[in-house]
Amino acid sequence: MNTAQAGTLESMDCLVTVSEAAPGTGVKIQIAGSSASRFRTAMEKKAAEVIASMGVKDIELSIQDNGALDIVLGARIEAAVKRLIGGGR
């Protein structure tokens, strides 16, 4: 399965892992880490927005968070998806 990653586990960053998913399976988001207990809803919303804006329909996304703000989360997801589309790494 094709997989790509972007980000780090440094403070205020997150490590985003994305994997190809079969057509029709939709967007699956997994969140773990320091902000997960209080910001899950906000993080899911941001992730869904970024993925939709990139025109991706089916994907599995896992976020290992260490305090990333939305601005960082968005950048990491975008980078991971671009790497996935560009052939992964």
Partner 1 sequence: MAKNLLGREIPDFIEGYGKTKLFQGAFALKPEGYRAGGKIRCVNSTCTDKRVSDIKAAIAASGLKSGMTVSFHHHLRNGDYIVNMVIDACAEMGIKNLTLFPTALFGVHKKLIEHIKNGVITRIMGSVNGPIGQLVSEGGMEVPVVLRSHGGRPRAVAAGDVHIDVAFIAAPTADKYGNICGTQGKSACGSLGYAFTDAQYADFVVAITDNLQPYPAAPISMSQLNVDIVVEVPSIGDPAGIVSGTTKVTRDPLRLLIAKYASELIEASPYFKEGISFQTGAGGIPLAVTAFMKEAMIKKGIKGSFGLGGITGYFVELLKEGLVERLMDVQSFDLEAVRSIGENPKHIEISADWYANPWNSGAAVNMLDVVILGATEVDVDFNANVNTEADGALLHGTGGHQDTAAGAKLTIIAQPLLRGRIPCVTDRVYSVTTPGEVVDAIVTEYGITINPKRKDLLDACSAVKGLPVVSMDELVSRAHKMSGPTDPVETEDRIIGVVEWRDGTVIDVVRQLKKK
Partner 2 sequence: MRRTMLYLPGNNPNMLTRGYLFGSDGLILDLEDAVAMVEKDTARILVQHFLRQGEFGSCEVTVRINGVDTEYWKDDLAAVVPFPALQGIRAPKVDDAKTVKIIDEELSSIEEKNGIPLGRTKIFCLLETAKGIWNAYDIATASPRVAAIIPGGEDLTADLKTSRSSEGTELDWARRMLVFAARAAGVDPIDTVFPRVSDDAGLRKETEFIKQLGFEGKSVIHPNQIPIIHNVFNPTEQEIAKALKIVAAAKEAAERGQGAVSVDGRMVDIPVVKRAEYTLLKAGLSEVK
* Residues contributing to the site for partner 2 (CB under 8 A): 6-8, 10-13, 68-69, 71-72, 74-76, 78-79, 82-83, 89
Binding-site partner at residue 41 among partner 2, partner 1, none, CB < 5 to 8 Å by type: partner 1
Please report the sign of the dihedral spanned by the C-alpha atoms of residue 4, residue 47, residue 60, residue 67. Answer: positive
Q: How far is the CB of 33 from partner 2 (least distance, A)?
A: 14
What counts of helices (H) and strands (E) characterise the chain? 2, 4
Residue 74 contacts partner 1 per CB under 8 A? no
Question: What is d(CA 34, CA 12) in angstroms, rounded to the nearest whole number?
Answer: 10
